[in-house]
Amino acid sequence: MKPLHELTIQEVHEGYRNHTFTCVQLVQHFLDRIKKYNPRLNIYLALNEHALEQAAAVDREIVEKGIDRELLGIPLAIKDNFLTTGLTTTASSYILKGFMPQYDSTVTEKLLAAGAIFLGKTNMDSFAHGSSTETSDFGPTLNPWNPKHLPGGSSGGSAAAIAAQLATAALGSETAGSIRQPAAWVGITGFKPTYGRSSRYGVIAMASSTDSPGPLARTVADAALITQVIAGQDAKDATTSPLPVENYLGSLNKPDLQGLKIALVKEYLLPEMRSDVKELILAAADKLRSLGATVEEISLMDPQYAIGVYTVVQRSEVSSNLSRFDGIRFGHDRSAFGQETKRRIMLGTYTLSAGYYDAFYKKAQAVRTKIIEEFAEVFKTYDAVIGAVSPGPALPIGATKDQPMFGEMEDILVEASSIAGLTSAGIPCGFVDGLPIGLQITCDQFQEEKALMIADCYQQNTSFNLFPDLDQTL
């Protein structure tokens, strides 16, 4: 039998059904691993002290009723920007150090209602301001494949928790690359639902107009199951869509991709991109072709424009969203804000100032509309757009130092799809220098089913979905 930490959600449920192991054993197994590896990797910021009690309750429920909840007894790692009663929630910022939420976020509430057990809260870039987890006020998380490297971010802790096998699955959130990029850097599956598909209520806001909660998981199937649970309209989030949620699991396990048209964006094979990374993406395109899809090269707006738009819109929203941390409440004054946070507040305050608003924010929104229209045009012909998630593999620790635009440069290939509110899967497609590389499969808004279907088919027909042996890598 496979070790417990290597099991997918489905395999855990099989184990419960066959009484191969109990939920208490599984949770204890993860707690033991966390105790062993977390001090080095710095993935968990807070652990759920009641996890074992909750696991015992799950075991009783299984005896009494069997498994009739989608995530019953599934140990999850939760990014620290989701409000969870009973578990401190800091968004990895000193200003919220020790903050105990008064209510639960809608998506974590849904996960709990589906029977999940939260192992703890995971490290992230402070207030999600970054793509490295290095801007966390509680120190960086290390990449489980090579601790000299970053895990990416901002959901770096949740991504590393899956790569290091310190949870069965994890919850993250993406504003622009914050799920897909760390998933790519640690070689796991990440899925960003369409903006408005999963509720933002109770998620410490970063950029309100792009934040999307989504899963980080061992497989596309696991990601699909978690998305199924968290998706849907929320009366507490006016930006969630009333569209019915499709059956994501039902779309999986397709034998081929016959009849699908996929676009490979020329501009996303950046001139400065390493040739071995480019080759992996072209190989992935060939793989999709061999599975029956038509893959054609297309041209899109230079991704650098998306960076400009995203930087202005995101900083503006950040400067506003963080104004509630006014030093009067929540216990800490504003000097507790980290450098990157202060930098973003200042830039955002500037771009919204009288006289600059038209030049920056309004212009950025106009370009954003162009990007949205451009994608809409592409999706008239193509089912999906593919490309690399990141220009290269995980960068070394310290790479963000004196690089205020670090995140944006690393997220150049995911920002356009984020500001257009699209859905996108990030899955491993190979390795360079012993570090994983991620492929993104992006579909039109509310086409989660299709993106998951393609990603699942690719994943089941490739063998890049590997996990590091921590005793070797650390």
Find the shortest distance in angstroms from Cβ 184 to another protein: 27
Find the shortest distance in angstroms from Cβ 330 to another protein: 8
| 342 a catalytic residue | no
Catalytic residue among 92, 126, 154, 198: 154
| Residues 59-88 contacting another protein, CB under 8 A | 81-83
Find the shortest distance in angstroms from Cβ 311 to another protein: 15
- Binding residue for another protein (CB under 8 A) from 20, 28, 239, 462? 239
Closest to another protein by CB, 80 or 411: 80
| 316 a catalytic residue | no
- Binding residue for another protein (CB under 8 A) from 30, 138, 201, 268? 201
- Binding residue for another protein (CB under 8 A) from 161, 205, 414, 451? 205
- Binding residue for another protein (CB under 8 A) from 16, 30, 44, 99? 99
Q: Does 102 bind another protein (CB under 8 A)?
A: yes
| Residues 105-144 contacting another protein, CB under 8 A | 105
| 154 a catalytic residue | yes
| Residues 347-366 contacting another protein, CB under 8 A | 349, 352-354, 357, 361
Q: Does 200 bind another protein (CB under 8 A)?
A: yes
SS (H, E, C) the chain: CCCHHHCCHHHHHHHHHCCCCCHHHHHHHHHHHHHHHHHHHCCEEEECCCHHHHHHHHHHHHHHHCCCCCCCCCEEEEECCECECCECCCCCCHHHCCCCCCCCCHHHHHHHHCCCEEEEEECCCHHHCCCCCCCCCCCCCCECCECCECCCCCCHHHHHHHHCCCCCEEEEEECCCCCHHHHHHHCCEEEECCCCCECCCCECCCCCCCCEEEEEECCHHHHHHHHHHHECCECCECCCCCCCCCCCHHHCCCCCCCCCEEEEEHHHCCCCCCHHHHHHHHHHHHHHHHCCCEEEEECCCCHHHHHHHHHHHHHHHHHHHHHHCCCCCCCCCHHHCCHHHHHHHHHHHHHHCCCCCHHHHHHHHHHHHHHHHHHHHHHHHCCEEEEECCCCCCCECCCCCCCCCHHHHHCCCCHHHHHCCCEEEEEEEEEECCEEEEEEEEECCCCHHHHHHHHHHHHHCCCCCCCCCHHHHC
Find the shortest distance in angstroms from Cβ 119 to another protein: 21
Closest to another protein by CB, 176 or 277: 176
- Binding residue for another protein (CB under 8 A) from 202, 214, 338, 393? 202
Find the shortest distance in angstroms from Cβ 189 to another protein: 26
Q: Does 324 bind another protein (CB under 8 A)?
A: yes
Catalytic residue among 136, 158, 173, 178: 178
Binding-site size for another protein (CB under 8 A) equals 41
**Rounded CA separation 300/264 (Å):** 10
- Binding residue for another protein (CB under 8 A) from 65, 103, 258, 261? 103
| Residues 289-318 contacting another protein, CB under 8 A | 316-317
Nearest Cα neighbor of 471 from 67, 1, 103, 5 is: 5
Catalytic residue among 79, 110, 192, 450: 79
Q: Does 369 bind another protein (CB under 8 A)?
A: no
Q: Does 13 bind another protein (CB under 8 A)?
A: no
Q: Which residues are catalytic?
A: 79, 154, 178
Which residues make up the interface to another protein (CB under 8 A)? 81-83, 89, 91, 96, 99, 101-103, 105, 200-205, 207-209, 235-239, 316-317, 319-320, 322-324, 326, 328, 330, 349, 352-354, 357, 361
